[in-house]
Amino acid sequence: MSTSSWRALFDLPRDIAYFNAAQIGPMPRRGVEAGKAAFDAKATPWTRTIADEFFNAPEAARSKAAALFGDDAHGVALVPAASYGLSVAAKNITLEPGQEILVLADQFPSNVYTWRTMAERDGASVRTVSRDQGQSWTEALLDQINPQTGLVACGALNWIDGGRIDLVAVGEKLRAVGGALVLDLTQSLGVMAFDAKAVQPDFAVAAGYKWLLGPYTLGYLYVAPQHRSGEPLEENWINRAGSEDFSQLIHYRDGYQDGARRFDMGERSNHQLVPAALETLTVLEEVGVDAAANHIATINDALIEAASAYGLRADIPDRAPHYLSLGLPSDAPADLAAQLDAHGVKVSQRGPRLRVAPHIYSDEIDVARFADALKAVLS
Ligand SMILES: Cc1ncc(COP(=O)(O)O)c(C=O)c1O
């Protein structure tokens, strides 16, 4: 598939430049069609097989998501939200009293509240790592990891400024002091390469409705091999061994399905959302993570050039190539995103910055619309 054919995979009107994948990713047409067909089938349940709806489709989605983490299907659980995956991690890691949990400044709330609650439970504390001027997030984090560090919770980037974190380096230093690594990859999985074997996180979660372009309420949790015999948050029947045989369900079993499947959310087979997610993951697989990342990086370069003429700065030296968060000039209007919206440009303001998040469907016409809108609003 070539970059020029990617836009046609989506139902995006030409008078909108959609740069908000970091907020909500638009689902490709094929995903939408699969979802509609799944809803239609809900009116005629006998037209789908138990094997497909309950087992084959979720298993296929699990397998495709697992490839994005750099693992196989045994390593991934189906979860409704990043917070759910983080709670699974918190339930299966215990800290010693006095140990510290490190989070980054301005981290996404689901990935802060979980650790505040865990700290209270274990008599640990949460410490927020900030970076100094000119320092990378990686340096700031490595600086703060010491024998007191029980856990680091972060992402592959800081979601406010887009600064990248070298997760291999963080993981290595953390393992040397016996700390756990829990990742929220919601803002990177699918458009930034990730290799669980190199990073070796304990847990890594990604909500599926942003860069993964999938339906809301279906995300993916990678679980490291040493945690795959841990305790799930819920005890759903389908996660138990032998659940494929519906005639034997009341012969209660102690064992679980293999690998990370024990951590699946209840009703993980979600008959309407899973087909949409599966088809969407298939589209992403056909595009490929590297090709998507390269395309988005190229679009971002063009956006940066357009923005620089109006004083918006790509001033984060360690910026993740797919994630553009622009510094605003001091006289920028407080409602800049709303004003750009009136010109058909969809972006977000997060903190004091403008987040511009293109995806595989973005092209030079979108970039030109962005440049025209900035000109209309700022000059
Ligand atoms: C970094 C990050 N993590 C997670 C989420 C979503 O969290 P949850 O799935 O817990 O609602 C978002 C949404 O904006 C996010 O930006």
Q: Are residues 274 and 295 in the same domain?
A: no
Q: Are residues 52 and 139 in the same domain?
A: yes
Domain end: 286, 319, 344, which one? 286
Ligand 1, pocket-test mutation among 159, 325, 353, most atoms within 8 A of CB: 159
306 CA distance to ligand 1 middle (Å) = 29
326 CA distance to ligand 1 middle (Å) = 20
Give the pocket of ligand 1 (CB within 6 Å).
81-83, 108, 110, 155, 159, 184, 186-187, 207
**Tens-place pLDDT, residues 101-151:** 999 999 999 999 999 999 999 999 999 999 999 999 999 999 999 999 999
Q: Are residues 303 and 229 in the same domain?
A: no
pLDDT band at 352 (very low <50, low <70, confident <90, very high): confident
pLDDT band at 3 (very low <50, low <70, confident <90, very high): confident
Residue 126: CATH number of its domain: 3.40.640.10
Round to whole Å and give the CA distance between 342 and 359: 21
pLDDT at 136: 97
Residue 310 lies in a domain: yes
Residue 336: CATH number of its domain: 3.90.1150.10
- Quickly tell me which residue has 């589209």 as its tokens: 283
Q: Are residues 179 and 63 in the same domain?
A: yes
**Tens-place pLDDT, residues 260-295:** 999 999 999 999 999 999 999 999 999 999 999 999
Q: State pTM to two decimals.
A: 0.97
| Domains: count for the chain | 2
Q: Are residues 341 and 212 in the same domain?
A: no
pLDDT at 2: 67
Distance of CA 132 to the CA centre of its chain: 26
- SS3 assignment, position 221: strand
Mean pLDDT to the nearest integer, 300-308:
98
Q: Are residues 228 and 116 in the same domain?
A: yes
Q: Are residues 309 and 186 in the same domain?
A: no
Whether 70 and 195 have beta carbons less than 8 Å apart is answered as yes
353 CA distance to ligand 1 middle (Å) = 18
% residues pLDDT > 70 (the chain)? 99
The pair of structure tokens assigned to 162 is: 């887009």
Domain end: 254, 286, 318, which one? 286
pLDDT at 1: 60
Ligand 1, pocket-test mutation among 23, 24, 107, 110, most atoms within 8 A of CB: 110
Q: Other C-beta atoms within 10 Å of 171: how many?
A: 19
Q: Other C-beta atoms within 10 Å of 136: how many?
A: 16
- Identify the domain containing residue 182 by its residue range: 40-286
pLDDT at 351: 73
Determine which of 2-11, 270-279, 293-302, 367-376 has the lowest per-residue pLDDT on average: 2-11
